[in-house]
Chain A
Amino acid sequence: MEINKEKKDGKTVINLSGQIDSTAATEFESTLVEIIDSGTHVMILNFADVKFVSSAGLRVLLLAGKKVKPHDGKVILCNLATDVQEVFDISGFSSLFIICADVEAALEKA
């Protein structure tokens, strides 16, 4: 997978691409933890180019959600492909995160 971070309207947008599987999860986790530990507690994760998210990737999202919670933070997800959305629905993660149609909608919630 590839991860790159940008600022949009002063908000942190993290663009993800590829497969978020057990192999990718290590880098995904260290990147998110670094961002959160440096004081960013509101972030938008853009899934536009993500092919699938396995439970290893979901575990990282759960960790990020738990880490920002005490800081009134938010992890906002957007641009989920149908198959990725299905995995979020099956796992019950759709109700754990704010999910928006696109980056613009996510920026309004951030």
Chain B
Amino acid sequence: MNRQKLQLTFVNSADEAPRVAKKVERFLNERYVNDSLTNKLLLCVDELVTNIIGHAYNDKQEHAVSLECTVNEEHIILELRDDGVPFDPTKQTRANTKQKLEERSIGGLGIHLVMNLMDHVEYIREGDFNVLKATKSIQQ
């Protein structure tokens, strides 16, 4: 396996989120990615993984989801691939962040955070797969 690339597969169960997070954290630490970037990436991993686990499937079957994290000199790239219902997060209605406490709901906030914290997010539907690629520049 390429040392600059982490590839892992998990199933669509909420128990998987902490295991995925730990592996990504260790991978980033071993590559000396700074704490601030690591925290942003772990936040985005949490959002993207829980979104897939919670919303990608409505057949109650077990599915394999893959996550790839690549670190090169300039960027950190997260790529998630699932065979769930077609879903393009970049085209979703974003959370209304101007509402008052009583009116606020949490829907859409995770994607809103990912779109803001990462520098570039792109989605493609590849056959039966949703492929989401989110890139963060290492130079801040």
Task: Point out residues on A near B: beta carbons under 8 Å.
Answer: 19, 21-23, 51-56, 58-59, 62, 65-66, 69, 82-83, 86-87, 90-92, 96
Contact A92 B46, beta carbon cutoff 8 Å: no
* B104:A87 contact, CB within 8 angstroms: no
B109 A21 Cβ-Cβ under 8 A: no
Question: Which of these, B40, B102, B112, contacts A91 with CB under 8 Å?
Answer: B112
In the A-B complex, the 3 residue pairs with the smallest Cβ-Cβ separation, listed nearest first, are A92-B97, A55-B110, A59-B106
Chain A at the B interface: SS class: helix
Partner of B102, one of A54, A66, A83: A66
Question: Which parts of B106-121 form the interface with A (CB within 8 Å)?
Answer: 106, 109-110, 112-113, 116-117
Q: Are A54 and B98 in contact (CB under 8 A)?
A: no
Question: Which of the candidate stretches B13-21, B64-72, B81-89 sits at the interface with the other chain?
Answer: B13-21
Given contacts A19-B39, A51-B42, 5 further A-B contacts (CB under 8 A): A51-B35, A56-B50, A58-B106, A62-B106, A90-B97
- B17 to chain A: which residues have CB within 8 Å? 21-23
| Known A21-B46, A55-B106, A69-B102; contact A90-B39, beta-carbon cutoff 8 A | no
Cross-chain contact B39 with A51 (CB below 8 angstroms): yes
Residues of B near A55 (CB, < 8 A) are 47, 106, 109-110, 113
The residue that B14 contacts in the complex, of A22, A51, A54, with Cβ under 8 A, is A22
The one of A23, A66, A82, A90 in contact with B117, judged by C-beta atoms closer than 8 angstroms, is A90
Contacts of B104 in A (CB 8 A): 62, 92, 96
